[in-house]
């Protein structure tokens, strides 16, 4: 995939995540600055999602660890554990007591 294709796919994913956070109705503050999206929960915990251009991946940082997702077969997949980006984010938000609709 070329850089332009990656940027379009990654930006669409970040926009989808941002909209889902805004619509979740919970106590989550969402801030986006360029390629970085930060969700901050009322307990001070954060989930940071960013587009990593060099590796053509979306990276997620949370208290439980860091996750890297590459585009494969029409979805964002982790090569490390096989998880899918949106499913992982649903799990991470649930661990903070928040329900987010990404699927």
What confidence score (pLDDT) does residue 77 get?
96
Structure tokens at 63: 């208290």
In whole numbers, what is the pLDDT of the chain averaged over residues? 94
| Per-residue pLDDT reduced to its tens digit, 44-85 | 999 999 999 999 999 999 999 999 999 999 999 998 999 999
Task: Label residues 83-96 b or e (16+ Cβ within 10 Å = b).
Answer: bbbbebbbebbeeb
Is pLDDT at 25 greater than 90 in this prediction?
no
Q: Indicate the fold that domain 3-95 takes in CATH.
A: Metal Transport, Frataxin; Chain A (3.30.920)
Tell me how far apart the alpha carbons of residues 76 and 10 are, in angstroms, rounded to a whole number: 9
What confidence score (pLDDT) does residue 78 get?
95
pTM for the model stands at 0.93
Domain ranges across the chain:
3-95
For the sheet with 36-41, list strands across it: 28-33, 36-41, 46-52, 57-62, 65-72, 75-77
Structure tokens at 33: 């600055």
Q: Scan for tokens 């439980």, then name that residue.
A: 64
Residue 24's pLDDT band (cuts 50, 70, 90): confident
């Amino acid at each position: 995939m070329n850089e332009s294709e990656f940027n379009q796919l990654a930006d669409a994913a970040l926009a989808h995540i941002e909209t889902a956070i805004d619509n979740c109705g919970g106590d989550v503050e969402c801030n986006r600055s360029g390629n970085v999206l930060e969700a901050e929960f009322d307990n001070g915990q954060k989930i940071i999602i960013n587009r990593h251009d060099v590796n053509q991946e979306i990276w997620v940082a949370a208290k439980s660890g860091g996750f890297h997702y590459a585009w494969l077969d029409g979805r964002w997949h982790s090569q490390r554990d096989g998880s899918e980006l949106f499913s992982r984010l649903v799990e991470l938000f649930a661990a903070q007591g928040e329900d987010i609709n990404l699927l």
